[in-house]
Amino acid sequence: MSKPVVLIAEVLSPATISALGPDFEVVNVDGTDRQALLSALANADAILVRSATQVDAEAIAAAPKLKVVARAGVGLDNVDIKAATQAGVMVVNAPTSNIISAAELTVTHILGLARHLPRAHQSLSEGLWKRSSFTGIELYEKTVGIVGLGRIGALVAERLRGFGVELIAFDPYVTAARAQQLGVQLVSLEDLVARADFLTIHMPRTPETLGMIGAAELKAMKPTAYVVNVARGGLIDEAALAEALQAGEIAGAALDVFVQEPPADNSLTGLPNVNVTPHLGASTDEAQEKAGVSVAKSVRLALAGELVPDAVNVAGGAIDEYVRPGLPLTEKLGQVFAGLASGRITSLDVVVQGELQEHDVKVLQLAALKGLFAQIVSEPVSYVNAPLLAEQRGVAVRLITEAEAEDYRNVISLRGALEDGTQISVSGTLTGPKQIEKIVEVNGYDLELPFAEHLVVFTYSDRPGIVAAYGGLLGEAGINIAGLQIARDEKRGTALSVLSVDSPVSEELVAQLRTAIGTDEVRVVDLLGG
């Protein structure tokens, strides 16, 4: 019997090849040579790439034996995940390979700002000796504010403790116990920006976090303070930052990431009090080697038919075929659950009802957590790290199975509580021969609505004219309603509307909807792709 063929499309470290082991036939090809790539894919069971090789729909179609695409890195812009999933091809990456490198670059930028290193170097290289022009500050006894205390934020905190700084952080999803372990005091964002001598941000880029450090936050900072962004472009409003730096509202900034890369102009990069690097967070030999070794191990698992820790889609792994269709549904339910939450989640029950519970459904709990934390944390979420994220954030998780399911053959429900005692629930099912994914319950209200990329959910006092009110506002904003379900609670005199819309809903429009409907309970959920 011939060995499975593993195609290496870009230069990888010797450690990557060693991690694959002797059980595979390794074939090398230049992934940038399109014809050579397509030809080699004809016999490939797996392909390992970095960022230069385009594994698109055409490439996947040319690989009838392909079982796994492995990206030796974090980003997957060069892999068509949808096409891979449709073809039953697993896509894996190395989500934790760069976290140490990113944390170290953050600390480097903080030190560079404190001691004016780039400008001091430039001055001396030009033959000048201006010691007094580059008098810096010590980190000792300064306050460092960390926005986002996930894996990278936690590593930054651990490394900065040795400098004798005061560590404060804003992260609504991290428990006080976890923060205490890291030697960090949890505070509000308002308190953090007012107190921080250095602010570093480590959040995912979502509609909620985009521009979360804006003009108001920058004005509230000390004029001697510095900001650092090594996470995602746009988390700090670039226009507001440029104005704050020019006006002397803050002392300086260090940026590794930008909204547009490379930046379209030098409005930020050309300022004398800004240190910049060209997105170097993962650019270390160690991070690259870790990425290669990580995906090599994932390839071994995938070709053995096992559940892969860092799979970004649900096409592969040793999963019961009856359970497999429930994976993407449960992941979406997790995202909706996170979108409905207005505070820190403390508990989550994954309830599987109907015929489905006769099978091994443990993977559905992982899928629920994967979807939930995909909306919450900045780092990539996998089946392996999702339970760890729940543990770190103090989320108590249970898997419950029940034999009977009302109205449907199978129902998957997520039920849980927030820190303030608020109860949240969302349920879904697969209907019809095409197994259409539908939401069938939200917070105790029964409905039936297909999933969509953009959802708007709100409860309100049931009265005439509400549909016209929100329909008119959405229409004026040019947002089309693709689907609508209304459920009523006659005893309480309340109603719940769930809308699927064709485009994102801005925070400004959400505020208008709250006013028009007369409720604070308006939640927008933008489902993440993959």
Which tens digit of pLDDT belongs to each residue from 358-381? 888 888 998 899 899 988 887 667
Which tens digit of pLDDT belongs to each residue from 431-453? 888 889 999 999 999 999 999 99
Q: Is a pLDDT exceeding 60 seen at residue 519?
A: yes
Tokens for 268, please give them.
């930020």
E strand map for 207-306? 226-229, 252-255, 274-276
Please report the DSSP string for 471-511 in residue order.
Answer: HHHHHHTT--EEEEEEEEETTTTEEEEEEEESS---HHHHH
Among 145-149, 202-206, 341-345, top mean pLDDT goes to 145-149
- β-pair type (345-354, 396-402): parallel
CA–CA gap between residue 455 and residue 478 (Å, rounded): 15
Q: What average pLDDT does range 113-142 have in this prediction? A: 91
Distance of CA 450 to the CA centre of its chain: 24
Domains of the chain: 1-94+282-318 (3.40.50.720), 99-276 (3.40.50.720), 320-434 (3.30.1330.90), 452-530 (3.30.70.260)
β-sheet bridge partners, residue 457:
498, 523
Closest residue by Cα to residue 214 from 243, 189, 249, 241: 241
Tokens for 318, please give them.
């040793």
pLDDT at 243: 95
Q: Is a pLDDT exceeding 70 seen at residue 340?
A: yes
Percent of the chain residues past pLDDT 90, beyond the cut: 55
Burial of 96 (0-12, 13-18, 19+ CB in 10 A): buried
Kindly report the pTM of this predicted structure.
0.67
Lowest model confidence (mean pLDDT) among 59-63, 300-304, 426-430, 446-450: 300-304
pLDDT at 274: 95
HEC profile of 64-130: CCCCEEEECCCCCCCECHHHHHHCCCEEECCCCCCHHHHHHHHHHHHHHHHHCHHHHHHHHHCCCCC
β-sheet bridge partners, residue 396:
347
Instruction: Return all residues near 363 (Cβ < 8 A) that are at least 6 apart.
Output: 307, 317, 319, 323, 327, 383
Which tens digit of pLDDT belongs to each residue from 165-224? 999 999 988 888 999 999 999 999 999 999 999 999 999 878 888 999 999 999 999 999
pLDDT at 322: 86
* Average predicted confidence (pLDDT) for the chain: 90
Residue 145 banded pLDDT, cuts 50, 70, 90:
very high
Which tens digit of pLDDT belongs to each residue from 72-91? 887 777 899 888 877 878 89
pLDDT at 383: 64
521 three-class SS: coil
Pick 429 or 73 by higher pLDDT.
429
Closest residue by Cα to residue 67 from 50, 52, 87: 87
Which tens digit of pLDDT belongs to each residue from 390-415? 888 899 999 999 988 888 999 999 99
Residue numbers annotated as active site: 232, 261, 279
Residue 325's identity, in one-letter code, is: P
Q: Is a pLDDT exceeding 70 seen at residue 314?
A: no
pLDDT at 1: 61
Q: How far is CA 355 from CA 112, 358, 406, 409, 414, in A?
A: 60, 6, 12, 7, 17
CA–CA gap between residue 277 and residue 440 (Å, rounded): 48
Residue 316 banded pLDDT, cuts 50, 70, 90:
very low
Tokens for 432, please give them.
């019809």
